[in-house]
Amino acid sequence: MTSRRPSPEASAVNVGGVVRDDTPTDEVDRREAVLESLAGTVRELIDAAIRTTVEDAEVHRIRADLDALVARLRTAQLPGPAGIRYNAELRSWNWGNAVMGAANAIAPPLRVVHGPSGCHADLVLGAAYEGPPGLVHGGVSAMLLDHIMGETASAMRRTAFTGTLTMRYRRGTPLGPLRLEAGIVREEGRKIFVAGSITAAGGVTVEADGVFVQPAAGTGDGSPQQAST
Ligand SMILES: CCCCCCCCCC(=O)SCCNC(=O)CCNC(=O)[C@H](O)C(C)(C)COP(=O)(O)OP(=O)(O)OC[C@H]1O[C@@H](n2cnc3c(N)ncnc32)[C@H](O)[C@@H]1OP(=O)(O)O
């Protein structure tokens, strides 16, 4: 059975940087699952490439095989980054997002759970996220907190950009299972103040405070309320 792919060039209308794309939701879901599966394997590849100890000649043979696979993927591709798309049902998708993009093997990926008092996410970080030996890179911690705090500020109903993000690294964050949490502290006009944290087995490792700013009316990015940046 053949299946149609979401076809951004055919049906996309650009609305202020976010693209209206009338691909039906069931096709978006199907394609997302396909790309997510590919990203999972590429994520394994990244981890394996970091940790392999096979001999040099084998590394060269594997690289040649991978070069051929990359060429096959590039026979049909977008002209640039994936961006954010949404359809008439306000199903949005941002498959290239650095933190939670379904097609992005660099993304951990983050699965954010929205609750009554904020958001949380459980994830496991492996060798690809190392900074100090055995510990999470500080920039990765900031990236993860930026995202979950931004989602918390946005609350699935408004656009809010990171204005200022302040990190306190209390102790090293070990690679492995982690929990991210974020909650709104207060709001003042267009500013939303958010607190966030990373917790590992031994307790809190990183705390963050952020000011997220809703762009002034008429200067938004045109996205539907639930589109993620
Ligand atoms: C479901 C959705 C999920 C979404 C998840 C998103 C997670 C990811 C979040 C990100 O990473 S967003 C990408 C990183 N951030 C950016 O690229 C933002 C770049 N900067 C901007 O777009 C603008 O500078 C910004 C929207 C932040 C503010 O521009 P405005 O023109 O709206 O600000 P304006 O000068 O009118 O100031 C409005 C208020 O915000 C305050 N403000 C402005 N910039 C600020 C800043 N940078 N930090 C703190 N406060 C700031 C400013 O003082 C003022 O406070 P008061 O009302 O009390 O006077």
Please measure the distance between the N-terminal and C-terminal CA atoms of the chain and give it in whole angstroms.
34
- Please report the pLDDT score of residue 225 as a whole number: 45
Residues, the chain: 229
Task: Answer whether 87 contacts ligand 1 (Cβ < 6 A).
Answer: no
Structural tokens at position 15:
């609305």
- Please report the pLDDT score of residue 204 as a whole number: 98
User: Quick check: 40 and 109 in contact, CB under 8 A?
Assistant: no
Give SS3 for 208: strand
Q: How many angstroms does the Cα of residue 72 sit away from the middle of ligand 1? A: 41
Task: Answer whether 17 contacts ligand 1 (Cβ < 6 A).
Answer: no
- Ligand 1 nearest atom to the CA of residue 211, by list position: 49
- Please report the pLDDT score of residue 156 as a whole number: 84
Q: What is the distance between the alpha carbons of residues 19 and 13, in angstroms, rounded to a whole number?
A: 6
Structural tokens at position 172:
């090293």
Mutate to test the pocket of ligand 1, among 112, 159, 213 (most ligand atoms within 8 A of CB): 213
* Strand partners for 117: none
- Please report the pLDDT score of residue 226 as a whole number: 43
Task: Answer whether 212 contacts ligand 1 (Cβ < 6 A).
Answer: no
User: Within 78-220, where are the H helices?
Assistant: 138-154
Q: Sign (positive/negative) of CA torsion 146, 152, 155, 158?
A: negative
Q: What is the distance between the alpha carbons of residues 184 and 195, in angstroms, rounded to a whole number?
A: 6
Q: What is the distance between the alpha carbons of residues 89 and 181, in angstroms, rounded to a whole number?
A: 29
Task: Answer whether 190 contacts ligand 1 (Cβ < 6 A).
Answer: yes
CA nearest neighbour of 98 among 66, 140, 155, 136: 140
Q: What is the distance between the alpha carbons of residues 119 and 105, in angstroms, rounded to a whole number?
A: 23
Q: What is the distance between the alpha carbons of residues 65 and 70, in angstroms, rounded to a whole number?
A: 9
Domain borders along the chain are 1-107, 110-213
Q: What is the distance between the alpha carbons of residues 183 and 148, in angstroms, rounded to a whole number?
A: 9
User: Quick check: 120 and 56 in contact, CB under 8 A?
Assistant: no
User: Quick check: 138 and 201 in contact, CB under 8 A?
Assistant: no
ipTM score assigned to the predicted complex: 0.96
Within 10 Å of residue 74's Cβ, how many Cβ atoms? Answer: 8
Is 69 exposed, middle or buried (CB count within 10 Å of its CB: 0-12, 13-18, 19+)? exposed
Task: Answer whether 189 contacts ligand 1 (Cβ < 6 A).
Answer: yes
- Ligand 1 nearest atom to the CA of residue 149, by list position: 7
Which pLDDT tens digits describe the chain residue by residue (229 residues)? 334 445 444 456 555 468 999 999 999 999 999 999 999 999 999 999 999 999 999 999 999 999 999 999 999 999 999 999 999 999 999 999 999 999 999 999 899 999 998 999 999 999 999 999 999 999 999 999 999 999 999 988 899 999 999 999 999 999 999 999 999 999 999 999 999 999 999 999 999 999 999 999 745 444 454 444 5
Class of domain 110-213: alpha beta
- Please report the pLDDT score of residue 2 as a whole number: 36
Q: What is the distance between the alpha carbons of residues 185 and 203, in angstroms, rounded to a whole number?
A: 21
